[in-house]
Amino acid sequence: MKAVFLDAATLGHDVDLAAVERVAGGIVKHDATTPEQVAERICGFDTVLVNKVLLTREHFENCPELKTIAVVATGVNNIDLEAAREHGVQVLNVTNYGRSTVAQHTVALMLALATRLLDYDRDVRAGRWAESDMFCLMNHPIMELEGRTLGIVGYGDLGQGVAERARAFGMNIVLGARPGQSAGEVDGYPRIPMDELLPQADVLSLHCLLTDETRNMIGARELQMMKPDALLINTSRGGLVDEAALADALRKGIIGGAGFDVLTEEPPRNGNPLLADDIPNLIVTPHSAWASREARQRIVEITARNLASIS
C-alpha cells in the first residue's frame, strides 16, 4: 500500500497516526493541500487519505493507479463518488466516532441558550450586576428544560446520543420524519412529520447529512411554524437551515434562540448572515463539536481498521 495523507493537519497535531501507518506501511503526510497541488501529490499512490480536500473526476481519470480513498470523516461530499465508482476506486469513511463529544456540544449549546448563559456573563462583565438595585439580574428569560419537548431530526448515532442525554433533564423526545422517511415509532419515541413536530418542539436539534432533500429543510416557512421561545440547534451540516431566514427570525423574535456549530461556507471567508453582531440569543461555534482529542484519535483507529479490511 502506497498512501498519502493530503490534509493531515485537519486532525490536529496531538493525535497519533501510528495505527494507520502500521496498516499502510508508512504514509507521506502533508499538513494541507491546495486544489492546484492535488493532482501532483496523489500521482503514484494507490491510497489517499483525505478530510476536506476535493477529489474530482479529473483526478480519477489522471491517476489510474488510485484504488482507495480513505475519508477521515463521515461526510463524503468532497469526493466525486460517481467518478470513483466508474474508475473502480473504493471510498471509505468513518462513522460512529463522535457520539459523546458531539452530543456533549449539542447539549452545551442547548443549556447555554436556555439559561441565557452568555447574555448574563456579558451583563456581569459590563458592570450591570454591580449596578443592580437587588441581589440578582433577571433581564433575560430562562427556559427550564424539564418537561419540554426536544425534537430530533436525524436519529442516527449522534441523534441517539443527544436523546440519551436529554432524558437526564426530563425532556420529552419526539423524532422528526425528514424527507423520504415515514412516520411511526423508533426506540419507543414517536416519529412524526416535520409539519407536526415544528409547532410542538421547544428545542429542535438537527443531526442529518446535507443532501438535495435536506438542503434548507428549515426555512422561513418552517421557522414561522415554531414556538416563539423555541431553540434551534444545528451541530450537523451547514445548509440544512436557510441562514438568512434564521437571522431574520431571531431579530424579529419569531423563535427564541439558536446554536450553530456549522455554516454553509467553512471557514466563512465571505461572511455569513449569522455572523452579524445584532442577532439576539445566537451562539455560533467554529465546527468544533467533533474535535475532542478522544474523538479525533478514534477517527485514526477506525481509519486503520477500514484500511486493514481491504489490505
Domains of the chain: 3-94+293-308 (3.40.50.720), 99-284 (3.40.50.720)
pLDDT digits (tens, 9 = 90+) for 229-264: 999 999 999 999 999 999 999 999 999 999 999 999
- How far apart are the two ends of the chain, measured CA to CA in Å? 8
- What pLDDT was estimated at residue 178? 84
At 311, the pLDDT band (50, 70, 90 cuts) reads low
- What pLDDT was estimated at residue 300? 97
Please give the backbone phi and psi of residue 44, each rounded to the nearest 5 degrees, phi first. 90, -5
pLDDT digits (tens, 9 = 90+) for 43-67: 999 999 999 999 999 999 999 999 9
Contact 24, 68 (CB under 8 A): no
Q: Which segments of the chain does DSSP mark as H helices, in order?
A: 18-24, 38-42, 57-62, 81-86, 99-115, 117-125, 157-167, 194-197, 220-225, 243-252, 293-308
Neighbours of 195 (CB within 10 A): 12
At 119, the pLDDT band (50, 70, 90 cuts) reads very high
Task: Indicate which residues carry an active-site annotation.
Answer: 237, 266, 287
- What pLDDT was estimated at residue 307? 96
pLDDT digits (tens, 9 = 90+) for 255-308: 999 999 999 999 999 999 999 999 999 999 999 999 999 999 999 999 999 999
Task: Assess whether pLDDT exceeds 90 at residue 77.
Answer: no
Q: Give pTM, 2 decimals.
A: 0.92
Distances in whole angstroms, Cα of residue 101 to Cα of each of 235, 240, 277: 11, 21, 28
Q: Which segments of 30-156 does DSSP mark as H helices, in order?
A: 38-42, 57-62, 81-86, 99-115, 117-125
Neighbours of 286 (CB within 10 A): 12
Task: Assess whether pLDDT exceeds 80 at residue 99.
Answer: yes
Q: For residue 4, what is the enclosing H or E element?
A: strand 3-5
